[in-house]
Structure 1
């Protein structure tokens, strides 16, 4: 039987959580994350195996540092080379899609869930959710919060503590609450950091 309330949730329409069928509810994903968070940190293979059940998509080389939290634990797609530091919250009431080579700092909140501003509507238990998308090669600093419906472009940096309420374009540094574009990432930035990386390789005698 079709689960119309669940379909409304993923479509970004108003819905009521308690009307979603048990097969589509939050508990299974949250139980997996509970296992991850209770696994000794040196049991990396077990943690990775459990995380593969949470993070969807075709990917390799991913690791989310426990502890972390999810809402459903089945609406999160990640790409290759994904790293997330401790105490992240993936409130995946709608889809969270993360590209390749993304790094996320500690205590970051990716929040797809929202509630009506009107109090009378809100207390009737109606809510909504809108997807979050994070492009390739992007870095979110510690304590960043991303709100429902936001897209963050590729190759961008979101400064620590930012609250991202609107879309962020490719290739910029954004900071603040609400987050605003501070500046574009430019050729001088790229030259500085690539020269630093080359110096590291020379000093360490490595090719990469």
Structure 2
């Protein structure tokens, strides 16, 4: 297997492999263009996102600066909004449903490193996919760890670190993130 095939299979792989380094460099060059584009250049930004990402739905808006590793492993549904300074380490697939809101500085990490220092010194990595359901809201500064699934319509409070799956229709917060309560879509403007 190539290092890229190992990476996608969730096996330990070498991120310094020349093919992987070239892929990341190509995406960073495109992101530099995206991140320096004028706010009024909506069409240019849309074309750049279509070129960078694996899939991008309709009415997607990503405020620069935005950063990702490969881009092509990031699949975004319709009506998604990313606020400033979001980071997606899409070493494994990241699937985002429709109408998802990202606060500023949200970070999605699919990549993991060995716990043993001797293994970590080798530079190997491993990845697990992230899936975010429809109508999710991730508050500012939320961190999603590798392999996590966030259920539809859930809200993750600002500053939370999500280390376990979150079911549908809940408000969750904290470090580590935990469920605070069920959400009821019939209440106006998030009233308790």
TM-score exceeds 0.5: yes
Q: Does 1:42 align with 2:40?
A: yes
Task: Return the structure number with greater helix share.
Answer: 1
Structure 1: gaps spanning 5 or more residues = 196-208
Residue pair 1:77, 1:95 contacting (<8 A) in 2 also: yes
Matches within 5 A, 1:1-208: 4-19=2-17, 21=19, 25-57=23-55, 59-186=57-184, 190-193=186-189
Q: Deviations over 1:17-72 (max 9, x none)?
A: 12352696211111111100111112122112111222323621111011111111
**TM-score normalised by the chain length of structure 1:** 0.86
Instruction: In structure 2, list runs of 5 or more residues that go unmatched.
Output: none
Larger radius of gyration: 1
What is the alpha-carbon distance in structure 2 between the residues aligned to residue 71 and residue 194 of structure 1? 35
Deviations 1:91-125 (A, max 9, x none): 11111100011111100001111101110111011
Alpha-carbon distance, 1:132 to partner: 0.6
Superposed CA RMSD in Å reads 1.8
- Give the count of matched residue pairs: 191
Structure-2 change in CA distance of 1:120 and 1:184 (3 Å):
same
Q: Distance in 2 between matches of 1:88 and 1:194?
A: 24
Distance in 2 (alpha carbons) for counterparts of 1:123 and 1:41? 42
8 Å contact from structure 2 (residues 54, 71) kept in 1: no
Measure, in 2, the Cα distance between the counterparts of 1:74 and 1:194.
35
Q: Could you list the runs of 4 or more consecutive aligned residues of structure 1 that deviate by over 4 angstroms after TM superposition?
A: none
* Separation (CA, whole Å) in 2 of partners of 1:125 and 1:54: 26
With normalisation by structure 2, the TM-score equals 0.93
